[in-house]
Chains A and B, each alone.
Chain A
Amino acid sequence: MGKNENIRLGIYLCDCEGKLVQSIDLNKIKSAIQSSADFEYIRIADLLCGKMEKEKIAHEIEKYSLNRLLIAGCTDPFIERQFTVLAEENGINRYEVEFVDLIKSGKESTKWAVSIISEVLLQMQERSAIVYEDFNVLPEVLVIGCGKEGAAAALAVSEKQPVTVIDHDSPREGINLLNGKRNITVKTGVKVVGLEGFPGQFLVRFLDNGKHVKQSFGAIIVALEAQAVFDKVKYNGVQLGERVLRLSQFRQSDKDQYAGRKVAFVLGQADQDSLLSYAAALTEAIALREKGAEASILYDDMKVSADQLEQDYERARARGVNFLKYNGELQIVTTDVAATVRYREPFLPQSEPIRLVSDCLVLADDYQSNAATEELAAALEVRTGPGGFFQDDNVHFLPVMSNREGIYFVGGCHGPIHGIELNKEVEAVKAEVGRFASGKVRAPLLQPRVTAEQCAVCLTCYRCCPHHAIEIVHDQSLNNMYHSAAHMNALACRRCGTCAAECPGKAIQLPLFSDQEILQQVSKPPKLVAYACENSGALAAEYARSLDPRLQENLQIVSVPCSGKIDALYLLKALERGADGVLLLVCHKENCKYVWGNERADKRKEQVQRRLEEVGLEGDRVEIVHLAANQGNQFNASVRSMVERINQLGANPGKVIK
Chain B
Amino acid sequence: MKEIKPENLKAGSNLEKVLASGQFACTGEIGPLTYATFENIDKHAEELRGKVDSVNFTDNQTAVVRLSSWAASLRLLQLGMEPNLQMVCRDRNRLAMQSDFLGAYAHGIRNVLCLTGDHQAFGNHPGCKGVFDLDSVQLIHMLKTLRDDGCFECGAECKIPPKFFIGCAENPFGDPFEFRAIRLEKKIEAGADFVQTQCILDMERFERFMEMVTARGLHERAHICAGIMPVKSPKMARYMQTGVPGMIVSEEFCQRLEKAEDAKAESVNISVEYINHCREMKGVAGVHVMAVAWESIVPSVVEKAGLLPRPTF
Chains A and B in contact, CB within 8 Å = no
Q: Which residues of A contact B (CB under 8 A)?
A: none
